[in-house]
Amino acid sequence: MSERTVDGLEAARARGRTGGQKPKLGPRQVQLAREMYDSGDLTVQQIADEFGVTRPTIYRHLGKSTTATK
């Protein structure tokens, strides 16, 4: 059974399908959140409220963007 599942997932990927939930923030929103965070004028909670997401979501995206730029 697991072999068929893996085969099905591979076939879906080959057709351009990806699994999982869509990101809460788009690339432009992540960039804006990074700029807001770096300015130091707003708290992470205020940034999260601005985008309608939770604080951990902001931290997750900020963590990704810092590792991607280094």
**pLDDT tens by residue, 6-59:** 999 999 999 988 888 888 899 999 999 999 999 999 999 999 999 999 999 999
In the chain the domains, ranked by start, together with CATH numbers, are 22-70 (1.10.10)
pLDDT (0 to 100) of residue 62 = 87
pLDDT-derived band at 64 (thresholds 50, 70, 90) equals confident
Q: Model's pTM, two decimal places? A: 0.63
pLDDT (0 to 100) of residue 66 = 54
Question: In the predicted model, is pLDDT for residue 70 greater than 50?
Answer: no
**Nearest-CA neighbor of 42 among 56, 27, 26, 58?**
58
Identify whether the C-beta of residue 33 lies closer than 8 Å to the C-beta of residue 47: yes
